[in-house]
């Protein structure tokens, strides 16, 4: 089938970050983009302003009358429940219905596709790579899993000869892609509710690596055959070295198979972001992007929303991050310690999923114990039902801190106001982002 020959594109779960990138892509082609989401958010409001028709009630009467089996493609996310009325209407009436990952696979199949996979780091790495290719004026569209600050969007549009696609391991979605090149940033255990065991996660990433047609790039330390490696101060094919901090930012040199780049600068904090930058640099270099364009892009990339976004307000430092896995949480806290040694750090963490909290409780507790004080929010359930005994109080008991408490999201700002801190770090992948603006407002008025 030609996925681009429809008049209407109907999204069920339209407010999802991966879904909305596809919505913006079809909108850019002049298509009619409509759909449903359970919750109105800042992102859905923005999508509506851009011309996408989204409603928030699961009601088949709200489906536009012009939609037919012949002129419409229905796209859904696996997070949509099986009893969803609209989804079942489309299935029962023989509409063409596809998962988001299948649609992304079809769009990118006839392009020179670069997939960026990993349990951590894929959004930042794919955003950096998309930015490099845009700066170099490569004819490329990048589908991202976050909002790139430079573009205020999760899609970078600049032609369709090449595509960059964030390759999601959830539900093994990344196996729907046909990548010519790929980056794998990490293959840690995650989504054990889907995979069951840690070895199954690794096996899935190996399967993804095996479908890469031309060249695979992996962070040094990952076990993949016939791949270029990248890293920082390691024996890698693309190795950052001579790392120094100048005016609060990382500057480093990079040895590549083709020579060396001197004085590469990035604005992003954190050792892990140096690794992400080197991974993106490696692919751009392999593609023949000139060194000066790579350096220009890295020096102007300002980040991804909710990926270690920081502000200094009235002598307080406020950082917001999407971290929802112990490895990510460790990286965020380590970066804060590195940037602000000796400062008192208050962390506000919202666990994401009951299964992830259960499976990684000890690792979460170890990471959270590196804070000075902690406000632990109630677990964000997302697609899950509660699990008996798995609560935020269960996790809090494992955290080795004197100053710690559990709070609801609604009461969290009141609890924050009572605390003594130099640095405030809010972390989580649920709806903790809804308190970001109120916190900024409070800090600016304090």
Q: Which residues are catalytic?
A: 122-123, 166
Question: Which of 248-259 are b and which e, b meaning 16 or more Cβ less than 10 Å from the residue's Cβ?
Answer: eebbbebebeee
The rounded distance, in Å, linking the Cα atoms of 28 and 401 is 50
The rounded distance, in Å, linking the Cα atoms of 95 and 82 is 16
Radius of gyration (C-alpha) of the chain in whole angstroms: 22
Q: Taking Cα atoms as reference points, which of 437, 426, 354, 357 lies closest to residue 397?
A: 357
Q: Taking Cα atoms as reference points, which of 364, 348, 354 lies closest to residue 411?
A: 348
Do residues 16 and 100 make contact, with C-beta atoms less than 8 angstroms apart?
A: yes
304 DSSP assignment: B
Count of CB atoms situated within 10 Å of the CB of 401: 17
* Strands of 345-350's sheet in order across: 309-313, 316-321, 423-428, 345-350, 373-377, 403-407
Do residues 157 and 23 make contact, with C-beta atoms less than 8 angstroms apart?
A: no
The rounded distance, in Å, linking the Cα atoms of 32 and 144 is 21
Do residues 272 and 121 make contact, with C-beta atoms less than 8 angstroms apart?
A: yes
- Specify which residues 253 forms β-bridges with: 241
The rounded distance, in Å, linking the Cα atoms of 294 and 128 is 10
């Amino acid at each position: 089938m030609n996925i681009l020959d429809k008049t209407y594109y109907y999204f069920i779960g339209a407010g999802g970050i991966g879904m909305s990138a596809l919505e913006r892509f079809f909108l850019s082609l002049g298509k009619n983009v409509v759909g449903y989401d359970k919750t109105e958010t800042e992102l859905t409001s923005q999508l509506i302003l851009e011309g996408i028709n989204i409603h928030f009630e699961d009601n088949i009467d709200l489906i536009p009358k012009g939609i037919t089996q012949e002129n419409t493609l229905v796209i859904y996310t696996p997070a949509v429940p099986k009893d969803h009325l609209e989804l079942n209407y489309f299935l029962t009436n023989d509409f063409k219905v596809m998962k988001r990952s299948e649609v992304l696979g079809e769009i990118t199949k006839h392009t020179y596709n670069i997939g960026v996979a990993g349990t951590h780091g894929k959004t930042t790495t794919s955003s950096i790579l998309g930015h490099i290719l845009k700066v170099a004026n490569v004819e490329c569209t990048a589908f991202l899993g976050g909002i790139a600050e430079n573009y205020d969007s999760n899609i970078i549009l600049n032609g369709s000869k090449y595509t960059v696609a964030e390759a999601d391991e959830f539900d093994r979605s990344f196996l729907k892609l046909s990548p010519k090149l790929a980056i794998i940033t990490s293959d840690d255990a995650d989504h054990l509710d889907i995979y069951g065991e840690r070895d199954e996660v690794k096996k899935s990433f190996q399967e993804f690596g095996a479908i890469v047609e031309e060249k695979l790039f992996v962070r040094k330390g990952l076990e993949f055959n016939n791949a270029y490696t990248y890293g920082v101060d390691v024996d890698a094919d693309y190795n950052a070295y001579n790392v120094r901090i100048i005016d609060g930012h990382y500057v480093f040199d990079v040895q590549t198979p083709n020579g060396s780049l001197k004085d590469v600068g990035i604005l992003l904090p954190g050792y892990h972001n140096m690794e992400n930058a080197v991974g993106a640099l490696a692919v751009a270099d392999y593609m023949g992007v000139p060194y000066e364009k790579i350096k220009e892009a890295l020096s102007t990339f300002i980040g991804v929303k909710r990926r270690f976004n920081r502000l200094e307000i009235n002598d307080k430092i406020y950082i917001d991050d999407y971290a929802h896995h112990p490895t990510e949480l460790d990286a965020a806290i380590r970066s804060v310690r590195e940037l602000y040694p000796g400062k008192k750090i208050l962390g506000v963490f919202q666990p994401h999923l009951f299964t992830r909290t259960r499976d990684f409780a000890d690792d979460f507790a170890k990471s959270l114990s590196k804070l000075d004080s902690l406000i632990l929010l109630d677990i964000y359930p997302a697609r899950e039902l509660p699990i008996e005994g798995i609560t935020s109080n269960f996790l809090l008991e494992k955290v080795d801190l004197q100053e710690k408490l559990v709070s609801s999201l609604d009461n969290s700002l009141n609890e924050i106001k009572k605390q003594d801190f130099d640095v405030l770090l809010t972390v989580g992948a649920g709806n903790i982002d809804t308190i970001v603006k109120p916190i900024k407002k409070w800090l600016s008025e304090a």
